Chains A and B, each alone.
Chain A
Amino acid sequence: GQSLEQPSEVTAVEGAIVQINCTYQTSGFYGLSWYQQHDGGAPTFLSYNGLDGLEETGRFSSFLSRSDSYGYLLLQELQMKDSASYFCAVRDDRRAGSYQLTFGKGTKLSVIP
């Protein structure tokens, strides 16, 4: 079967660093994406790792270890506007040619002053 695990909630202080972990089990794995969704808003693409290692985009970084079936999203210099839900999503080809995204249950990040 297919499964993704990420913490349901995380709280962090403004200006701090927070790491959101994601472990997955799937067949035909291609890569791991991260999306942000504010309450009442649409998911927004943040980052993608198709290969092992670290990808950096401004204050956000994402890491993937294919051998460990594990990835994380790192948010630095937290701002109040970072309060949102963060979803990891595996891109897999478990049905040949599908290349579809399957989302984890999401991590609600609360940034406090």
Chain B
Amino acid sequence: GAVVSQHPSWVICKSGTSVKIECRSLDFQATTMFWYRQFPKQSLMLMATSNEGSKATYEQGVEKDKFLINHASLTLSTLTVTSAHPEDSSFYICSALPPSGRPLNEQFFGPGTRLTVL
């Protein structure tokens, strides 16, 4: 099956610093990746859609200058939380969409990254 990895799996940082989270599709190329945010015991909220070689599409209410997304290759998308604050603490999950067989393909999810901002 398709495997998606995230790095790091958890990170603790000080308020005001920036944190980069990587999402990689290990055995397939993904022209489209998605970034989700999940608060404890809550559902996943889509933050943005990341397309290889173009700018990300952000959902309403998501600050694009705070959550920088770069999809530089067909197997890597990064999410950078800039000037992180405690309210940014959350579980961030990425998913990747294989290009072949559209539109029936399912998203494959990474294991998530737990961000704690002190």
Q: A and B, one complex?
A: no
